[in-house]
């Protein structure tokens, strides 16, 4: 039986109710929301509204209309960065960013935006003090990941948010690895812009994501077009969420996302996090006991999410992943994980690491089989 340990990329399997919701919506509703007054269109609009409401409830967001649906966290991050900053602005970010944020920031720098990259420690952490010391009078935005997709390090956004709010600096958080599996209260953390995908810790289908935009923030849309409202005008609507949702949204996928969010809420994010951390602790303990294995995920009491990176001395990570898949039936992620700057920060560039990310549908037996397989591989390397 195969073992899937690549949940940081996309959770699999999905809860059965996610499959059923997407299938039912495609078959029984099957039309666009907000594109007509007939019952099917009204039902589609209800599903999309309920998905927004469920996300707002799960993440501590007061106004669900300020949640904009996107096809991915990447789109949401691009909307936030490109919609807010202008040449001459100063931004602060970290050396641990995924390319979904690092590349828009690099593009902004090429257009005249100045970007300060705060260096993490070797485990992938940055401190609130580091972020605050990088601010300037002209700083407009701090943009950073909540949880590293390479080491699992969780950064103190709950400390940084209030400090930035006091100084009038906007705060963009990439919640790709933490949403659904790490407790988040966006309003309490004083996060201004929060992007996340639907297909990871929320157990929704691929092609779903969202961006939360706090009151008082005006972003230039990435797209202009039909929104199902204000059709008499050639200008883009100003009301949310329509301003940022041009084109027909993927209602069947959002129905699946709604089911995924309800699944997570019913189990409780804190409970999910505790379950995943138990698997991670078991994995790190097992890997650390194997000669030749180096683990890059922190095990010192600091906050973590369910991501473990490791290498075996004398073996290319790509070869390790290939053998784990073809000989042992274990799926992991290898290489740079779309985060080259992070690997430079922890000293694993250019080959990268083997990344292992258990999820809610994994078991202790899965972890034990994985550790045993790595022990055999490390033995052959020696």
Catalytic positions, please? 338
Closest CA to 309 of 235, 367, 317: 317
Other CB atoms within 10 Å distance of the CB of residue 245: 22
d(CA 343, CA 136): 27
Query: Strand pairing of 90-94 and 139-145?
Result: parallel
Query: Strand pairing of 193-197 and 209-213?
Result: antiparallel
Length of the chain: 382
Closest CA to 152 of 128, 185, 123: 123
DSSP label at residue 238: -
Find the DSSP H helices in the chain.
16-24, 39-59, 73-84, 99-110, 128-133, 157-167, 251-267, 269-288, 317-328, 340-346, 364-381
Closest CA to 130 of 149, 144, 147: 144
- Asked whether 278 and 363 are in contact (CB, 8 A), the reply is no
Burial label for 215, CB within 10 Å (0-12, 13-18, 19+), is exposed
d(CA 201, CA 312): 28
Burial label for 63, CB within 10 Å (0-12, 13-18, 19+), is middle
d(CA 382, CA 160): 45
């Amino acid at each position: 039986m195969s073992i899937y340990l690549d949940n940081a990329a996309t959770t699999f399997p999905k809860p059965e109710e996610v499959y059923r919701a997407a299938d039912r919506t495609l078959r029984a509703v099957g039309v666009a929301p907000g594109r007509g007054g007939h019952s099917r269109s009204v039902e589609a609009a209800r599903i999309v509204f309920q998905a927004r409401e469920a996300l707002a409830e799960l993440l501590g967001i007061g106004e669900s209309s300020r949640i904009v649906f996107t096809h991915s966290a990447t789109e949401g991050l691009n909307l936030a960065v490109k919609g807010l900053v202008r040449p001459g602005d100063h931004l602060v970010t970290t050396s641990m960013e995924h390319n979904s944020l690092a590349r828009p920031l690099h593009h902004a720098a090429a257009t005249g935006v100045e970007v300060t990259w705060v260096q993490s420690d070797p485990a992938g952490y940055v401190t609130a003090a580091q972020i605050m010391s990088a601010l300037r009078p002209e700083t407009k935005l701090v943009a950073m990941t909540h949880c590293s997709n390479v080491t699992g390090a969780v950064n103190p956004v709950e400390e940084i948010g209030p400090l930035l709010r006091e100084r009038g600096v906007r705060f963009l958080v990439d919640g790709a690895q933490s949403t659904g599996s790490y407790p988040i209260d966006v309003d309490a953390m004083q996060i201004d812009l929060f992007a996340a995908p639907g297909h990871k810790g929320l157990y929704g289908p691929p092609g779903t994501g969202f961006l939360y935009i706090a009151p008082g923030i005006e972003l230039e849309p990435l797209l202009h077009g039909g929104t199902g409202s204000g059709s008499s005008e050639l200008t883009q609507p100003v009301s949310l969420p329509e301003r940022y949702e041009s084109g027909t949204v993927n209602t069947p996928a959002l129905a699946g996302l709604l089911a995924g969010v309800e699944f997570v809420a019913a189990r409780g994010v804190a409970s999910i996090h505790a379950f995943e951390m138990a698997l991670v602790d078991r994995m790190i303990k097992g890997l650390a006991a194997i000669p030749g294995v180096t683990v890059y995920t922190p095990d010192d009491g600091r906050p973590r999410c369910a991501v473990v990176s490791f290498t075996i001395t004398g073996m290319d990570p790509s070869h390790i992943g290939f053998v784990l898949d073809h000989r042992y039936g274990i799926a992991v992620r290898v290489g740079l994980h779309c985060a080259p700057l992070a690997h430079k920060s922890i000293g694993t560039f250019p080959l990268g690491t083997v990344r292992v990310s258990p999820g809610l549908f994994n078991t202790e037996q899965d972890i034990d089989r994985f550790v045993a397989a790595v022990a055999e591989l490390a033995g052959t390397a020696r």
